[in-house]
Amino acid sequence: MPAFQTVRGMRDLVGEEAAAFTNIISKARETAMLYGYREVITPVVEPLELLSAKSGEEIRQRMFIFKDLGERQVALRPEFTASIARLATTALKNEPKPLRLFSVGSVYRYDEPQKGRYREFWQSNFELLGSARPEADAEIILLTNRLLKSLGLQSYAFKIGHIGVIRGILSQEGVEEKTQNAILQRMDKKEYEEALKLAPNEHCRNMLDGLLKLKSNDCFETVEKIKSYVADCDKAKGAAENLGEVLKLVVESGCPVQVVEPAFARGLEYYTGVIFEVYIPQLDIALGGGGRYDRLIELFGGEPTPAVGCAHGIDRVAIALQTQKTEFAAKIGKRVLVLSVNDALKVEALKIAQMLRDAGAAVEFEVMGRKMAKALEDADKRKVDYAVIVGERELKEGSVMLRNLSKREQTIVPINTLADKITN
């Protein structure tokens, strides 16, 4: 047999990399808990039709699609939002609003593999269903801020825009939705010239071109410029006003906004309102992104339900933390090796190991049948804090030998005080 490799674009995570992932996931879960988001677990495989409905051309072309043995067209999820919108029209249909839902797991896109871009990657995903108000958009941005801050990330900043500005202009110009989507796809990829070429007439082209030039260093000033630029277009003007309201809430709550992008677009087609992405200066790939999608749930046959959400790319957040050399303190208790001097004492040793785990210590049991010296040497190499040696003589007196591996000291400790001695 050949030595197998992972499939292109898929990774094994071991050691520090795996620990960094679990750290981010536990912080995301903690953020969900602190903001009142309930965790839901949805399938990795979903009907193709559900996933492709409003995901946008870019993602549609990059899905892992196959027929299952029952001849159903299915795909690996490229994101969570479609699954959550489906849940909102089925199992959670009658839940009172607002509904706050959190998910975490792997998602799949046939992207060209490179640093920070994989074919299997992980997202932590937050969706807030049932509110059309700016404070809902602000909450999603602020919880992203909290998550990144709690991980110790420095100098990250948000890029914010509103999909309704360009859509408003294009609708006023009579551009049909399919062409709007094509223009927005190009804008998302920063292929502005290509995007402008798709505009149906000179006036429309000039409007888009002018919009691109409104960007300034001051976010609030940019919003004011957009407002006056689209003063004759009701829909776009409403969008700019809404953007200003969300921006105010976010900035005044202390969240770092780097720029308001007048012609901001994102790959996904379901967005209807404020959209955002978050970056650090050292990397030009987004660590997370999201926005408002008020019509998706209705499109899936549910009640009209305004919604806003975001996803954080765990692989990219891990790269960002590594780039900034952010240390994280793994929350594990003291590490202990428990071993017995002979086979007859194994049961007693197992009981002591269990007692120490109940007290919060991370306990390994010697399962290799090694000689004491070898087992201790190995534990010391792996930075285990203590060895608990269960021996006949000590046990008769209700005690064990406790060895501090780094200090190379050992004392006899009564079993009833052992947990306290190790964990305090």
Binding of ligand HAM by 294 (CB under 6 A): no
Q: Does 24 help bind ligand HAM (rule: CB under 6 A)?
A: no
Q: Helices (H), strands (E): how many in the chain?
A: 17, 16
Contact with ligand HAM (CB under 6 A): which of 288, 302, 306, 391?
288
Burial profile 77-108: b = 16 or more Cβ within 10 angstroms, e = fewer: bbbbbbbbbbbbbeebeeeeebbbbbbbbebb
The total of other beta-carbon atoms located within 10 Å of residue 67's CB is 10
Q: Is 127 in the site for ligand HAM (CB under 6 A)?
A: yes
Q: Do 335 and 365 contact (CB within 8 A), yes or no? A: no
For the CB of residue 283, give the shortest distance to ligand HAM in the complex, in Å.
10
Can you tell me whether residue 228 is helix, strand or coil? helix
Interface with ligand HAM, residue 300, by CB under 6 A:
no
Pick the closest to residue 73 from 38, 104, 105, 49 (CA basis).
49
Shortest spacing between CB 317 and ligand HAM, in angstroms: 7
Does position 286 interact with ligand HAM (CB under 6 A)? The reply is yes
Exactly one of 118, 276, 279, 386 binds ligand HAM (CB under 6 A); that residue is 118
Site string for ligand HAM, 316-335 (x = CB under 6 A): x-------------------
Q: Which residue has the tokens 């003063």?
A: 231
Residue 161: name the closest of 197, 214, 116, 206 by CA.
214
Q: How far apart are CA 381 and CA 15, in angstroms?
A: 15
309 contributes a contact to ligand HAM by CB under 6 A: yes
Torsion from C-alpha of 44, 49, 52, 54, nearest 10 degrees: -120
In the bound state with ligand HAM, the residue whose beta carbon lies nearer, of 48 and 341, is: 48
To the nearest whole angstrom, how small is the minimum distance from the Cβ of residue 66 to ligand HAM? 19
What is the rounded CA–CA span in Å between residue 91 and residue 94?
8
Among 74, 87, 207, 310, binds ligand HAM (CB under 6 A): 310
Subset of 46-85 contacting ligand HAM (CB under 6 A): 79-81
The single residue among 123, 185, 242, 272 that binds ligand HAM, judged by CB under 6 A, is: 123
The residue among 136 and 422 lying less far from ligand HAM, judged by its C-beta, is 136
Contact predicate 373/382, CB 8 Å: no
* 173 lies in the binding site for ligand HAM (CB under 6 A): no
Question: Which residue type, as a one-letter code, is found at position 103?
Answer: S
Angle between helices 234-252 and 134-150 in degrees, nearest 10: 40
Say whether residue 279 binds ligand HAM (CB under 6 A).
no
Here the tokens at position 312 are 């954080």
Is 111 a binding residue for ligand HAM by CB under 6 A? The answer is: yes
Among 163, 313, 353, 403, binds ligand HAM (CB under 6 A): 313
Query: Residue 165: which of 95, 236, 101, 247 has the closest Cα?
Result: 236
> Token digits for 163?
């999909």
Instruction: Tell me which of 164, 273, 290, 306 binds ligand HAM, using CB under 6 A.
Output: 290
**Applying CB under 6 A, which part among 168-176, 244-252, 310-318, 364-372 lies near ligand HAM?**
310-318
Residue 273 lies near ligand HAM (rule: CB under 6 A): no
Among 164, 291, 302, 306, which residue interacts with ligand HAM (rule: CB under 6 A)? 291
Work out whether 269 is an interface residue with ligand HAM (CB under 6 A): no
8 Å CB contact between 257 and 216: no
Q: Which of 125, 180, 185, 222 binds ligand HAM (CB under 6 A)?
A: 125
For residue 282, what are its two tokens? Answer: 């050292």
Residue by residue, DSSP assigns 337-361 as EEEESSGGGHHHHHHHHHHHHHTT-
Considering only the stretches 93-101, 181-189, 288-296, 404-412, report the one whose residues sit in contact with ligand HAM under the rule CB under 6 A: 288-296
* Cβ nearer to ligand HAM, comparing 116 with 200: 116
Show contacts with ligand HAM in window 181-240 (CB under 6 A). Answer: none
Q: Does 158 bind ligand HAM (CB under 6 A)?
A: no
State yes or no: residue 306 binds ligand HAM (CB under 6 A).
no
Phi and psi for 168 in degrees, rounded to 5?
-60, -45
Work out whether 108 is an interface residue with ligand HAM (CB under 6 A). Answer: no
Q: Which residues bind ligand HAM (CB under 6 A)?
A: 79-81, 109, 111, 116-118, 121, 123, 125, 127, 267-268, 286-291, 293, 309-311, 313, 315-316
